[in-house]
Structure 1
């Protein structure tokens, strides 16, 4: 999926925001927040590199529902834990010791399961869910294949494409939609 030129299609903008990388309004960067987060698709989005040079400009949308303002709702069940590996090393005076090393994070909740490669986002037209009239359920598909996304490609994509079977992520999405 390439970056869009503008935010005139709210559904395409929401879908694009579900991905990481050089994309405007990336939801994955906001999943740890405890409060609803306003996002305004009527405003231009400028992404700059480390030198401050503009590398991406997406024009704000016009004629959008709720004037382009939506609110990314937090997942109250989200738990972030450290992803660690253990190494056993010899001690200087004999024997061995095991050391833990953090290699990343594991996110798990109703809308996220990083081990399963599942990421969904609940977006509303008002800061409070109960005051909202419009709600959006956005699910991120697979990112480009890499060692970090291998579980997603093998377990989910291969199951669907090779065997035409129900993918594990679909069960997670169904459960999340019923709860929100």
Structure 2
């Protein structure tokens, strides 16, 4: 259970430097990188009731073991449901990960409750924009009508302007030649 709390492995003292000791100091040793490490574990509580030795439930504390209520327990003993295994003993058929809710979260190309169903690759990228398409029939009709009106206005305007100038020349006495 010492692995389910704060573990002090250097500068060991009989009393904590901060906070209050709750319970007793538990000495422990373990083998790490070819040597034995001596440590102590304890629950030390600060003035605001914060436990500096708090370890989250579910924290691994050994092979196939996890912390629950500051105790290191075998996962099988907890009688928790787990994700489905395939015939080879692979969790989520080896194509996903098991969530904390004991459900498989499948890799991108796999589906099913145990990730055993191959799922065709979906296209995550939308098709590239091919640019504007050709003019539609409505646009052609509107453009033709607007063009025809513009041409008619130019022709009528030009004709009216020309007619006015011709008329003006006929009646302008300064424009007439010798009599």
Query: What's the TM-score bracket when you normalise by the shorter of the two chains?
Result: under 0.3
Structure number with larger C-alpha Rg: 2
* TM-score, with structure 1 as normaliser: 0.19
Greater percentage in strand: 1
